[in-house]
Structure 1
Amino acid sequence: MTYSKVETFNIDGCKVRVHFPDLPEEERAKRKNALMKAAERFLKHAERVKKEKAEQENMPEAKEG
C-alpha cells in the first residue's frame, strides 16, 4: 500500500504522524460505508443507554417495611 499524504500532529506533548493511504474509489467508498454503519451503531447504543439511565432515575425506589 502506498501513502502519498502524511500529517503530523502534536497532541499533549506527543508527536503523532498519520499516514493516509492511496485507495481506489471503490475501497474508499467501502471503508466510508463501514465507518457510517459503525457510527450509526454507536449512536443508537448511546441513545439506548441514555434512555435506560433516565428510566432508572425515574423509578420509585422499593421501600423496606
Structure 2
Amino acid sequence: MTNPHMVFSRDQLWDKARGHETIVGDRTIDVHVMRLFKKIEPDPAAPTYIKTVHGIGYCFAASVRKTAF
C-alpha cells in the first residue's frame, strides 16, 4: 500500500479498483468495503483496519511496513 492513512473517496477507490470507464451505482463501493470490513476486522464495533470518514470516504488505518521478499 503506497498511501496508508490517506482518505479516499468512493470515486477514487473505484477508479483504483476498476478504472475510469466503469460506471457504477453510488453505493457499490460501500458494499465492497463492507464485505472486506467483515472479513478482516477482528471487532467490527471497534474497527482498526478500515475507518469510515463520514462525508468523504474510507481510510486504511493499520500500520504498514515494507518487507523484503
Same fold by TM-score greater than 0.5:
no
Greater helix share, structure number: 1
TM-score (normalizing by structure 1): 0.27
* TM-score relative to the length of structure 2: 0.26
Higher relative contact order (CA 8 A, sep 6+): 2
Q: Which of the pair has more CA radius of gyration?
A: 1
**Greater strand fraction, Structure 1 or Structure 2:** 1
